[in-house]
Amino acid sequence: MPTKTTTPSKCPACAHDLVLLEAGALSWCSACRWNLDVYDPALAPWRGTRMIGRWGFRRGLEVDRAAHEQLLADPEARPAGTSSGEVWLLAASVVLALLGLAAAGYLVWLVVASDLPPGVRLAMAIPAVLILLLVKPSFGRVPKYGVITEREAPQLHRLVREVADAAGTPVPDVICADLSLNAGVARLGWRQRSVLVIGIPLWVMLPRPARASLLAHELGHLANGDPLRVRRTLLARTFGARAVAATGGRNPWRRAIRAADSLAEQGRGTVVLLGMIVHGIVALANVAAATAQLLVDSVAMPDSRHAEYRADLVARRVAGSAPFLRSSETVLLAGRIWQDLWHLAPRIDGEQLEAMAAEARQRLAAHLPLARQLSRRTTDLWSTHPSEDQRMALIEALPGVDGAVCVDDIRWAEIDTELAPWRRTAHNALLGTRDRF
């Protein structure tokens, strides 16, 4: 007699109702968190195979636990010296740089000293050119669009100065705005100027004190020297990704099969065979590059996670515990809030974005506990940031503090006035995306 298996609806530990998001996903208990920290292929990022994904998920949890223990023991400690992971990445970057120099010297020899025929020299130059394209230095470019000058926004620049002073870092050389649900800092250009980028959609969603926390987190990266550490190891961090992009991106075998089918339709056996060989070699190179990038990220991401936690501690110290937690909650709801604003866009203007975002944030607050727990299921070792739940848990485990930077409502209103053109731009972007449907 056939039997039918059913998914339990009650938690075996506390008898609370279990959470089941979709068919095939693993349920968990939102009350006692039973079965939450398990690898769920339906929700976790796909990393090529389930075995790799499961290892990366578990390893990510181990790295987060170790980071919590270390930072809770001494939250005021400055970043340690060069880690073993950074040493490996530096060594790999040096090897790649030497490989690039060797390729450049080889090309010079082909052009100047070689007596080979031009056609042969050209063919022999191709591998060296490919190597140079993969290891060429990338300094980035300081954005030209979106730069917010001190003349245009003196109060915003004053706030950034205060936050930078409290964080213990020089003021960023450039402050930019863009239309992303994000914010960031980087060192760009030949002069390696520090650039702070503020995503206006995220900015208008955040409660005002949480905006100071956002700035403090990003400037905390500068205070801890994170962009410089990334710059020193950039060759190792990007080589595999560049090679994957150069060989067609993701799903190489799917492309190879499609190419073979296309060639087969032409009916020429020799062409089909050669084409399959070429596409097979490219697919193998793609897989090798993706594997190399995965290994590099396995070494790099623990340091990246520590960097995010340390920047969170700077945000706590500068802006306060509660504003940091509000910023994390807003990040968890940002996609839903933006979707609500998308629906409201034709009936409001740019000046109403902040008020409508606050209403949406309050209306969606009931989704926060589940969204916070879900962030653990959708984050693994290779995610660029720890889960919001892990980040919030670290701050909640520490004593609450008020923060060193306080901004009154009058100054916030002045900053809002300075950024009014950008709110209108964000509103126009919402209207523009509606026009596509």
Taking only the tens place, the pLDDT of each residue in 127-176 is 889 889 888 888 888 888 899 999 999 999 999 999 999 999 999 999 99
Neighbours of 218 (CB within 10 A): 23
Q: How many domains does the chain have?
A: 1
Is position 18 within any domain?
Answer: yes
Is position 11 within any domain?
Answer: yes
In angstroms, the Cα distances linking 302 to 63, 65, 373, 380 are 6, 11, 21, 11
- Percent above pLDDT 70 for the chain: 94
pLDDT of residue 283: 83
Is position 16 within any domain?
Answer: yes
Whether 368 has a pLDDT exceeding 60, the answer reads yes
Whether 6 has a pLDDT exceeding 70, the answer reads no
pLDDT in tens, 233-260: 888 888 888 888 888 877 777 777 777 6
Confidence band of 104 (pLDDT split at 50, 70, 90): very high
More confident residue, 395 or 246: 395
Whether 315 has a pLDDT exceeding 80, the answer reads yes
More confident residue, 59 or 190: 59
Is position 59 within any domain?
Answer: no
pTM greater than 0.85: yes
pLDDT of residue 335: 93
pLDDT of residue 4: 43
pLDDT of residue 139: 82
Is position 1 within any domain?
Answer: yes
pLDDT in tens, 18-54: 998 877 789 999 999 999 999 999 899 888 788 989 9
Is position 376 within any domain?
Answer: no
Is position 174 within any domain?
Answer: no
Q: Which of 167-176, 264-273, 341-350, 374-383 has the lowest mean pLDDT?
A: 264-273
Q: How many residues does the chain have?
A: 437
**Domain extent for 32:** 1-36
The whole-number average pLDDT for the span 262-289 is 74
Task: Read off the tokens for 242.
Answer: 């560049």
Neighbours of 294 (CB within 10 A): 16
Confidence band of 268 (pLDDT split at 50, 70, 90): low
Is position 15 within any domain?
Answer: yes
